[in-house]
Structure 1
Amino acid sequence: MSEPLDLSSLESLPFEKALERLEEVVELLEKGDAPLEQAIQLFDEGMKLAHICGKKLEWAEQKVEMLVNENDEWKKKPFDTEEEPD
């Protein structure tokens, strides 16, 4: 069984590693055979990993730009996930 990571080191994990570990934690919790104390530690780790992954995705989203054709001219625009008001 995989040991919980040092929670203080989670912030420095690359997104892919954090997501991989989050998937491991979810799998371990879904099995349901971890002792209560370990399950609580895994849950805490999973919540922190989910938060870290969310922050890293938000950061990446802010860095993405779109090329938009306006009046036959290509312009860079920030990527916006919000729906445009009608």
Structure 2
Amino acid sequence: MTDTPPSTPVEKMSFEQAMKELESVVDRLERGDVALEESIALYDRGAKLKKRCEDELKRAEEKVAAITLDGEGNPTGTKPVEGA
């Protein structure tokens, strides 16, 4: 499945770990060979993983947007980003 145990709290996963497990969850659900109760648990885990990925992407976008460029396009520093 993945290198990250399914018991790993989603909040502690890196973007890459969460994305890899999310792909695995979607794969299993699409195959349709999972019992109903397990499907519900997988769907719930997948929703949490999706939110984690979205949050990490948003944080990265905010960091990139905070980088200021000089007239030649060179980074000159960063503006403070909340929560960074």
TM-score for both structures, normalised by structure 2: 0.72
Q: Which stretches in structure 1 are left out of the alignment for 5+ residues?
A: 79-86
CA distance in 2, matches of 1:30, 1:39: 10
Given residue 37 of structure 2, which amino acid in structure 1 is its aligned partner? Answer: E
Q: What is the alpha-carbon distance in structure 2 between the residues aligned to residue 74 and residue 24 of structure 1?
A: 40
Q: Which runs of 5 or more residues in structure 2 are unaligned?
A: 80-84
1:29 aligns with 2:21: no
| Superposition RMSD in Å | 2.8
Q: Classify 1:67/1:73 alpha carbon distance in 2 versus 1 (closer, same or farther; 3 Å).
A: closer
Identity of aligned residues (%): 39
**Equivalent position of 2:41 in the other structure:** 41
Higher share of residues assigned strand? 1
TM-score by length of 1: 0.71
For these two proteins, the number of residue pairs brought into alignment is 74
Higher-Rg member (1/2): 1
Q: What residue in structure 2 maps to residue 61 of structure 1? A: 61
